[in-house]
Amino acid sequence: MGKSVKIYPIIGTEGEGVTAVPEVEVGLPLLEARAVAPRPVSPALKERKSYARISDVQAIPPLIEVQLRSFRWFQEEGLRELFEEISPIVSFDKNLELHFLDYRFDAPKYTEEECRDMDMTYAAPLRVRVRLINRETGEIQEQEVFLGDFPLMTDNATFVINGAERVVVSQLIRSPGIYFTIEEDRATGRQLCMAKLIPNRGAWLEFETSKRDVLSVKVDRKRKFPVTTLLRAIGYGTDEELLELFEPYDNDPDHSYIASTIERDPAKSAEEALLDFYKKLRPGDPPTLENARNYLTSLLFTQRRYDLGRVGRYKLNRRLGLSVPLEQRTLTKEDLVKVVEYMILVNNGVEGPDDIDHLGNRRVKTVGELIQNQLRIGFMRMERVVRERMSTRDPAQVTPVSLINIRPVVAAIREFFGGSQLSQFMDQTNPLAELTHKRRLSALGPG
């Protein structure tokens, strides 16, 4: 017999496991070939054991929600705040008034994909309903005015500008509020308190302590004058009032800050203080009591020109122990008095200074607030043009559409998205680079 060949027959019925029987040699009788039944598996062995501390897979949080939520806030509230700031626009002769009532965004003319393909901007028309009141004739006109195409944020938290996707990076800035610091006098070695009152929008107030115990203040880094001049101008007129006001705090036997400041103060009454304040800040204008009072009020106590913001008011209340409502976004007399009190306490070593580099003294400006700040510039320019047109055109023939010039608003929007350091081409290297770009913080830019 020739050489045998090894063969592995397959034996088994349908539905059973396929089993190989031991090898047999060709030419030898197959005495017995039977299927081997699979071993039963215990039910306990079928269960998969997990040694993880967290049993369920956590859902990924909305990582770009900060950008989306901020832009929604701008559309619903930020834009309304801007219209409230400039409304109503009143002519110089008080005869015409222009009120901004409400606004809406129409549907975009093109989709995101069409804008990318045609190198266009993904935007929606912004329309505002305005009312013009003529006080002389009693006539009231209402019209809807087109204020330009406003760029919209996509669902991916980007803007399509001229066909290119852009990201507005959030800005890390110093938070509005009051900051107390210590500076050493080189001549005497004394630790002297300095303070900065920083608003969200408006004039900065910088307080200083001299080596002769005189407290002074500078408004917008202009000429320095004694802090008692400012206190007299807001209503604390006499020396006795000032000394009594700070008596519980100015009690260091070696340093009498209020008395030293009063000695250097040329003004001795509220009227003299107002005129002195006006002369130092507006040296070219004729100083009258009415002009001085109006200027001080508009500079520090009118939200149109001075705004602490909700964050600034919160920080001021927290630092000085005040309970002023957060809706009060301008300064109050109590704020200025408390700042001077706290400076005296820091000078006396009772209270400590602030760390201006601490992250608790910084805040993040997101896309909605950045656009609002830029658009405010355009609205202020538009307001100036409207007021000029009110004074040069015939009141009987003027209409809301003829008064409003949208070019300053359109130019402000274009300048922000096209030229701002915070409006950047999106990093499209990979999805992770795209995501990190949208969540990035920057210290660049205005502010």
| Residue of 244, 255, 225 lying closest to 344 (CA atoms) | 255
Tokens encoding 186: 């080189």
Residues 126 and 196 in one domain: no
Rounded to whole angstroms, the maximal C-alpha distance in the chain is 137
Mapped onto helix, strand or coil, the DSSP state of residue 172 is strand
Predicted pLDDT of residue 46: 67
Q: What angle do CA 444, 445, 447 make, to 5 degrees?
A: 110
* Domain annotation covers residue 3: no
Residue at a domain's end among 361, 391, 414? 361
Residues 184 and 294 in one domain: yes
* Domain annotation covers residue 41: no
Contacts 24+ apart (CB under 8 A), 32-37: 33/9, 35/11
The pLDDT mean for the chain works out to: 86
In the numeric block, the tokens 């500079």 are attached to 299
* Dist CA 400 CA 404 (whole Å): 6
Predicted pLDDT of residue 32: 52
* Domain annotation covers residue 8: no
Torsion angle (degrees, nearest 10) of CA 97, 98, 100, 106? 160
Range of the domain at 143: 65-173+364-442
Of the two residues 324 and 37, the one the predictor is more confident about is 324
* Domain annotation covers residue 29: no
Q: Tell me which DSSP letter residue 78 carries.
A: I
Mean pLDDT across the stretch 43-63?
76
Residues 310 and 207 in one domain: yes
Residues 197 and 345 in one domain: yes
CATH number, domain with residue 184? 3.90.1110.10
Work out the pLDDT band at 374, boundaries 50, 70, 90: very high
* Domain annotation covers residue 152: yes
Predicted pLDDT of residue 124: 95
How many Cβ atoms sit within 10 Å of the Cβ of residue 181? 14
Residues 92 and 125 in one domain: yes
Tokens encoding 224: 């320095």
pLDDT of 368 strictly over 90: yes
Q: How many domains does the chain have?
A: 2
Of the two residues 79 and 268, the one the predictor is more confident about is 79
pLDDT of 294 strictly over 80: yes
Residues 252 and 113 in one domain: no
Residues 162 and 198 in one domain: no
pTM summary value = 0.79
Residue at a domain's end among 334, 361, 388? 361
| DSSP code per residue over 243-276 | HHHHTTT---SS--HHHHHHHH----SHHHHHHH
* Distance, first Cα to last Cα, the chain: 102
pLDDT of 4 strictly over 60: no
* Domain annotation covers residue 50: no
Predicted pLDDT of residue 45: 63
C-alpha distances in Å from residue 88, one per residue of 7, 52, 96, 243: 101, 63, 10, 43
Residues 155 and 204 in one domain: no
386-436 confidence digits (pLDDT tens):
999 988 888 888 889 999 999 999 999 999 999 899 999 999 999 999 999
Mean pLDDT across the stretch 326-333?
90
Mean pLDDT across the stretch 127-145?
90
How many Cβ atoms sit within 10 Å of the Cβ of residue 52? 7
110-126 confidence digits (pLDDT tens):
999 999 999 999 999 99
Residues 168 and 298 in one domain: no
* Domain annotation covers residue 11: no
* Domain annotation covers residue 347: yes
Mapped onto helix, strand or coil, the DSSP state of residue 48 is coil
Residues 270 and 130 in one domain: no
Q: What H or E segment, with its residue span, contains residue 84? A: helix 79-86
Predicted pLDDT of residue 236: 83
> In this structure, what are the phi and psi dihedrals at residue 95, rounded to the nearest 5 degrees?
-85, -40
Residues 160 and 134 in one domain: yes
Residues 91 and 185 in one domain: no
Mean pLDDT across the stretch 242-256?
85
Mean pLDDT comparison of 4-13, 18-27, 410-419, highest-scoring range: 410-419
| DSSP code per residue over 178-236 | EEEEEEE-TTT--EEEEEEEE-SBS--EEEEE-TTS-EEEEETT--EEEHHHHHHHTT-
| Residue of 172, 111, 101, 107 lying closest to 132 (CA atoms) | 101
Residue at a domain's end among 336, 361, 386? 361
Predicted pLDDT of residue 447: 66
CATH number, domain with residue 394? 3.90.1100.10
